[in-house]
Amino acid sequence: MEKRNGQRVILFPLPLQGCINPMLQLANILHSRGFSITLIHTRFNAPRASSHPLFTFLQIPDGLSETQINEDPTSNVMSLLAKINVNAESPFRDCLQKLLLLQSQESERISCLIDDCGWLFTQSVSEILNLPRFVLSTFKATFLNAYPILPLLRTKGYLPVSDSEAEDSVLEFPPLQKRDLSRVLGEDGEELDPFLRTTVETTMRSSGIIFMSCEELEEDSLTLANEIYKVPVFATGPFHSYFSASSSSLFTQDETCIPWLDNQEDKSVIYVSLGSVVNITESDLSEIAWGLINSKQPFVWVVRPGLVRGAQGIEPFSEEVVRSIEERGKIVKWAPQQEVLAHGAVGGFLTHNGWNSTLESICEGVPMICLPGGWDQMLNSRFVSDVWKVGIHLEGRIERREIEKAVRMLMVGSGGEKIRERMNVLKDEVGRSVKHGGSSFRSIETLANHILSL
């Protein structure tokens, strides 16, 4: 057991799968450096405490009704987070205050709070309680750096975008194209601006930003983040390279896909997952299905409950589609993604390009087919296809012919081989960052020492 250093860190994740995973991975990293861990969490999407017996878990009320908790949370994520930000402030403050009062009776000192940049009230609470607060960004540094300018882009006449300008670059936000902006800014329009401004302002008042990234992926953006926010920056990722995310999954993982993969040829399988939040239509589901079937490549496809709103799984499929899938594919409601991507049979990943999934794919050297849903996924997919050139961008086209073409190009075409070669180089570069003496490894040591010095 690791030696304790007499200090405790309080962590407070945003209650979404893509935010809980990195926070618990960071908790494991800090625990391995001697810190004790207390995790405050909401009732909604509460993590499984039994999977982390060395941590203390404290649940606070989030003010959501049973109806709100049971309905599909992916239908309007921004609205859900806005409600929880209002409802959770007082319970969080009371919980944190009690912990600070109790520490005088304990042998450990509470050294800091680490929470997600999506919490808007925690900086003010930490200042009132005189507790240093670090911000965890589950996005690329490049995306967080754009928060100050996103409201300005709306006023510059970029939207709506004409077909003739769709592929033009957004000079203020490279490597985005103008057609990407509508799905970054979303349908919330100007309602998003106060959230962005508050996040920027509270982050600038924090004690530092922790990124689940590394210098090898975005060195210039990390330097710029320090200049924009004027606080210390710690690029300590990819977190999953140190500790797996499997034990923090909110979904039950179907392990049967692993023995199925064992029976497939090397690098022959395309893995398909659009993450925990993205929604598609029944028509989109059908187009993806036929694109995969017609590609003639074996595939593992995650069709989670709620992927198609109101559907629990494959019930929208026709009998013909089900029969065709059974001949060549394997469908699961949720997969042990890191294990799947690491499997020798997997040669490609059709992904929504959430930052967690993008990092996991890079670390396993699996080239991607990019089908982003929105928000930071648009930026991640541009880096994959246009900057690192380790994937193929579908440009939002959910059409069976386009999907079939992309799968065949990546898996058996000459262009796919070149992509795979570039991905192997990127994999090696990022892999070095987490080894002893690498950039990420050094940043973790710097973060731990910085917390100890507070």
How does residue 263 score in pLDDT terms, banded at 50, 70 and 90?
very high
**pLDDT beyond 70 at 166:** yes
Domain, as residue range, for 173: 7-242+434-453
Q: How many CB atoms lie within 10 A of CB 246?
A: 14
Among 92-101, 262-271, 308-317, 401-410, the least confident range: 308-317
More confident of the two residues 318 and 127: 127
Predicted confidence at residue 384, as pLDDT, reads 98
How does residue 185 score in pLDDT terms, banded at 50, 70 and 90?
confident
The pTM of the full predicted model, rounded to 2 decimals, is 0.95
- CATH at residue 346: 3.40.50.2000
Residue 341, domain member (yes or no): yes
Residues 190 and 280 in one domain: no
Predicted confidence at residue 3, as pLDDT, reads 77
The separation between the first and the last C-alpha atoms of the chain, rounded to the nearest angstrom, is: 25
Residues 238 and 226 in one domain: yes
Predicted confidence at residue 210, as pLDDT, reads 98
Residues 169 and 203 in one domain: yes
Predicted confidence at residue 2, as pLDDT, reads 62
Query: What whole-number distance in Å separates Cα of residue 9 and Cα of residue 126?
Result: 13
**pLDDT beyond 80 at 105:** no
Per-residue 3-state assignment (H helix, E strand, C coil) for the chain? CCCCCCEEEEEECCCCHHHHHHHHHHHHHHHHCCCEEEEEEECCCCCCHHHCCCCEEEEECCCCCHHHHHCCHHHCHHHHHHHHHHHCHHHHHHHHHHHHHHHHHCCCEEEEEEEECCCCCHHHHHHHCCCCEEEEECCCHHHHHCCCCHHHHHHCCCCCCCHHHCCCECCCCCCCEHHHHHHHHCCCHHHHHHHHHHHHHHHHCCCEEEECCCHHHHHHHHHHHHHHHCCCEEECCCHHHCCCCHHHCCCCCCCCHHHHHHCCCCCCEEEEECCCCCCECHHHHHHHHHHHHHHCCCEEEECCCCCECCCCCCCCCCHHHHHHHHHHEEEECCCCHHHHHHCCCEEEEEECCCHHHHHHHHHHCCCEEECCCCCHHHHHHHHHHHHCCCEEECCCCCCHHHHHHHHHHHHHCHHHHHHHHHHHHHHHHHHHHCCCCCHHHHHHHHHHHHHHHC
**pLDDT beyond 90 at 254:** yes
Predicted confidence at residue 208, as pLDDT, reads 98
Reported as a single tens digit per residue, the pLDDT across 381-402 is 999 999 999 999 999 899 999 9
When pLDDT is averaged across residues 410-416 and rounded to a whole number, the result is 92
Rounded percentage of the chain residues whose pLDDT exceeds 90: 77
Predicted confidence at residue 187, as pLDDT, reads 61
Q: 332: which strand partners?
A: 302
Q: CA 146, 215, 359, 43 torsion: positive or negative?
A: negative
Among 2-11, 23-32, 411-420, the least confident range: 2-11
Number of folded domains that form the chain? 2
Predicted confidence at residue 157, as pLDDT, reads 79
Residues 216 and 317 in one domain: no
Reported as a single tens digit per residue, the pLDDT across 339-390 is 999 999 999 999 999 999 999 999 999 999 999 998 999 999 999 999 999 9
Residue with tokens 């930026």: 379
Residues 233 and 314 in one domain: no
Residues 213 and 270 in one domain: no
Contact status, residue 444 vs residue 29, Cβ threshold 8 Å: yes
**pLDDT beyond 80 at 411:** yes
When pLDDT is averaged across residues 406-434 and rounded to a whole number, the result is 96
Residue 72, domain member (yes or no): yes
Residue 2, domain member (yes or no): no
Predicted confidence at residue 190, as pLDDT, reads 72
Residues 366 and 449 in one domain: no
Residues 443 and 383 in one domain: no
Residues 236 and 339 in one domain: no
Residue 391, domain member (yes or no): yes
Residue 78, domain member (yes or no): yes
Reported as a single tens digit per residue, the pLDDT across 44-73 is 999 999 999 999 999 999 988 777 666 655
Residues 332 and 390 in one domain: yes
**Whole-number average pLDDT of the chain:** 92
More confident of the two residues 74 and 303: 303
**pLDDT beyond 80 at 34:** yes
When pLDDT is averaged across residues 222-251 and rounded to a whole number, the result is 89
Q: Helix axis angle, 439-453 relative to 17-32, nearest 10°?
A: 70
- Please name the amino acid found at residue 228: I
Predicted confidence at residue 383, as pLDDT, reads 98
Residue 247, domain member (yes or no): no
Residue 1, domain member (yes or no): no
Predicted confidence at residue 161, as pLDDT, reads 85
More confident of the two residues 154 and 189: 154
How does residue 207 score in pLDDT terms, banded at 50, 70 and 90?
very high
Rounded percentage of the chain residues whose pLDDT exceeds 70: 96
**pLDDT beyond 80 at 301:** yes
More confident of the two residues 80 and 142: 142
Omega cis (within 30) before 238: yes
* Cα Rg, the chain, nearest whole Å: 22
Reported as a single tens digit per residue, the pLDDT across 106-162 is 789 999 999 999 999 999 999 999 999 999 999 999 999 999 999 888 888 788 888
Residues 268 and 343 in one domain: yes
Residue 52, domain member (yes or no): yes
Contact status, residue 390 vs residue 423, Cβ threshold 8 Å: yes
Residues 27 and 176 in one domain: yes
Minimal CA–CA distance to 269: which of 277, 257, 253, 280? Answer: 257
